Amino acid sequence: MIPRTNTTRRGVLALAAAGAAISLLPVPATAQLSAGAQAAVDRVRNNRTAQEGRITLRAPPIAENGNTVPIAVSVESPMTAADHVARIHVFADKNPTPDVATFHLTPACGRAQLDTRIRLGQTQDLIVLAEMSDGSLFMTRAEVKVTIGGCGG
């Protein structure tokens, strides 16, 4: 029942986590973004400092097909009227355009979490920014590998 080679993709991923996507290790924030992605991030930042932490980005380390990459974002927050995540922005560093999505949350969500499926044109960093109700800003960044398939991609 097992494919012939020893080092299968499934085998490697089984080491990482049982079941679905794994939490990606954040990439150092100093590494340079593409001009488009940097401009998009700066627009959201609006001169605020983006702090590290609080955001967990889950995505496959290697996307089986760049057309449909499942991602999940969660942000630590009590999600009360006084203290909640207002917006979550997702950008892709090397896509033709960096915007992926902006999510608008309210305390009625109860939790700051979302799942969706995105398109990635090539191996690149995903950048996630979370804007809090008090104006503070958090950011994380992680790489998703997108492979070119052998059978015509």
User: C-beta of 43: minimal distance to another protein in Å?
Assistant: 13
Burial (Cβ within 10 Å: 0-12, 13-18, ≥19) of residue 104: exposed
Binding mask 18-57 for another protein (x = CB under 8 A): -xxx------------------------------------
User: C-beta of 73: minimal distance to another protein in Å?
Assistant: 10
User: Read out DSSP for 50-75?
Assistant: EEP-SEEEEE-SEES-TT-EEEEEEE
Residue 148 CB neighbours (<10 A): 9
State which residue, 63 or 142, has the beta carbon closest to another protein.
63
Q: Which stretch binds another protein (CB under 8 A): 26-34, 47-55, 113-121, 133-141?
A: 113-121
Among 8, 31, 78, 83, binds another protein (CB under 8 A): 8
Ramachandran bin of 122, using left for φ above 0, alpha for ψ from -120 to 50, beta for the remaining angles:
beta
Tokens of 48: 């605020």
What residues make contact with another protein under the rule CB under 8 A? 1-5, 8-10, 13, 19-21, 60, 62-65, 67-70, 79, 92, 95-97, 99-111, 113-120, 147-153
